[in-house]
Chains A and B, each alone.
Chain A
């Protein structure tokens, strides 16, 4: 009798540990997504400043600048889903990357202190965004391990926890690094 009671107690403790572990992992993913969001907001805060600095110089890119302003407005409106947010963010990244490459054609702009400071801030934010994505991916990997590995997968199945996708770092992200190098020369 005592043995059976013992087994039940151990089982309950085991389940509680696994349950808490899974919830912990799930919350970490949410927390990491929040961290990523915070970094993206930093970039949204920089965009108006950047646009106002460059638009007097960059006549040919006026369309792109307007598009970036619109995309930013949409992103900060807060009425979009997480997936949309990610897609929007990728578009903004690629358009900003394009602008930063185009700056090469405007030596006056490139030489201005104001732009220089903005570019440093933008480089920093981009690097932080990439860091937050890596943090997000690390938490998703740990979450997926919990969801798919035995024996926590049984419990995760009952809790309807599903595999999550890691963040794919878009191609433009890598190009941004080149912009940094260009600037450094």
Chain B
């Protein structure tokens, strides 16, 4: 039986009844929202009349803010409970289905120090958030990953002296880390090659001048070279890590994800960032959730990174690192 068939069995036997119960919670939240919106209409209309009469917008503003606050305090606990139950009952089950040895911590994340240490993004971070932390050992290889959103801010003061803060995303998506099967002491970065693609030969020259991550490494796999730019603090060790077969495997992983994945090899560990535009592993509020297609999506996003161990052959332990 294929994995998808097994997943469908799990869906029918375990997940479907749970999703039905969760769907009731979801419908209750929607009804609450409708109810509070309806209750707000009459006071708001009255307050508008008062505002027009006294030529002052404050009554309307107060009424709108009050209704919003009351709705929020009444609805938010319900949403939180639904959210928590969904992660515990559905996402946890899918992770255990993929691999029983993994542990799941819905509200934890990969620490900011790990994100900084991996060195893929060098911009200073002003806000760092994340959730859905998964950790465990698959055979000999320890892995961990979570969803991460790292941002920086800019503050500008306009001519009237008002300060405005803008937030910009540095990285949003999955940060994955695994124990690498070879020992190494240097740092190697495999990044998206944008300069060479855009400017060709001149791009390479520019990349050579960028010494922030060590020397530019030119590898013999042309397809790999056109997708990635490699920097390392050691010419030989970077090639020891990026063996010809690993380069092929990284390429096939990139094709599989169809995303701009980037990798780094630091402290004998492998780090991978997979960018996503959407929030991952979150329950839906609008639309039916009792649906196998949704489960397949969660499964696809999770198994993509967990199966990286297989894809990159990290359990091959024929070197001194056991």
> A-side interface residues toward B, CB under 8 Å?
32, 35, 39, 117, 119-121, 123-124, 127-128, 130-132, 134-135, 137-139, 141-142, 180, 183-184
CB atoms of B220 and A138 under 8 A apart: yes
Given A128-B240, A131-B243, A120 contacting B235 (CB threshold 8 A): no
The docked-state distance in angstroms from the alpha carbon of A142 to that of B204 is 12
CB atoms of A123 and B319 under 8 A apart: yes
Kindly list chain B residues whose C-beta atoms are within 8 Å of the C-beta of A139: 235
Given A35-B236, A132-B239, A127 contacting B320 (CB threshold 8 A): no
Kindly list chain B residues whose C-beta atoms are within 8 Å of the C-beta of A184: 316-318
CB atoms of A127 and B240 under 8 A apart: yes
What's the least CB distance linking A170 to chain B, in Å?
15
The prevalent SS among residues of B at the interface is loop
Kindly list chain A residues whose C-beta atoms are within 8 Å of the C-beta of B248: none
- The A-contacting residues of B in range 227-269, CB under 8 angstroms, are 235-240, 243
10 extra A-B contacts, CB within 8 A, seeds A128-B240, A137-B220, A138-B217? A32-B235, A120-B318, A120-B319, A120-B320, A123-B319, A124-B182, A131-B236, A135-B239, A138-B235, A184-B317
CB atoms of B243 and A135 under 8 A apart: no
The docked-state distance in angstroms from the alpha carbon of A142 to that of B218 is 9
CB atoms of A131 and B318 under 8 A apart: no
Q: Would you mind naming 11 contact pairs between A and B with Cβ atoms under 8 Å apart?
A: A32-B235, A117-B320, A120-B319, A128-B240, A131-B238, A132-B236, A132-B239, A135-B236, A138-B219, A183-B318, A184-B317
The docked-state distance in angstroms from the alpha carbon of A178 to that of B316 is 13
Kindly list chain B residues whose C-beta atoms are within 8 Å of the C-beta of A130: 243
What's the least CB distance linking B232 to chain A, in Å?
10
Q: Report the contact-size class of chain B (Cβ under 8 Å from the partner).
A: 10 to 19
The docked-state distance in angstroms from the alpha carbon of A52 to that of B44 is 92
CB atoms of B236 and A123 under 8 A apart: no
> B-side interface residues toward A, CB under 8 Å?
182-183, 217-220, 235-240, 243, 316-320, 322
CB atoms of A128 and B236 under 8 A apart: yes
Given A127-B240, A138-B218, A183-B318, A35 contacting B235 (CB threshold 8 A): yes
The docked-state distance in angstroms from the alpha carbon of A139 to that of B236 is 11
Kindly list chain B residues whose C-beta atoms are within 8 Å of the C-beta of A127: 182, 240, 243, 319
The docked-state distance in angstroms from the alpha carbon of A141 to that of B240 is 19
Kindly list chain B residues whose C-beta atoms are within 8 Å of the C-beta of A131: 236-240, 243
**Shortest 4 CB-CB distances between A and B: which pairs?**
A131-B239, A131-B240, A124-B319, A135-B235
Q: Which residue of A lies closest to B235 (CB)?
A: A135
Kindly list chain A residues whose C-beta atoms are within 8 Å of the C-beta of B243: 127, 130-131
Q: Which residue of B lies closest to A182 (CB)?
A: B318
The docked-state distance in angstroms from the alpha carbon of A123 to that of B181 is 13
CB atoms of B236 and A124 under 8 A apart: no
Kindly list chain A residues whose C-beta atoms are within 8 Å of the C-beta of B322: 120
The docked-state distance in angstroms from the alpha carbon of A137 to that of B219 is 10
The docked-state distance in angstroms from the alpha carbon of A68 to that of B245 is 30
The docked-state distance in angstroms from the alpha carbon of A85 to that of B56 is 93
The docked-state distance in angstroms from the alpha carbon of A39 to that of B237 is 11
Kindly list chain A residues whose C-beta atoms are within 8 Å of the C-beta of B220: 134, 137-138
Q: Which residue of B lies closest to A117 (CB)?
A: B320
The docked-state distance in angstroms from the alpha carbon of A130 to that of B237 is 11
Given A124-B182, A127-B182, A134 contacting B319 (CB threshold 8 A): no
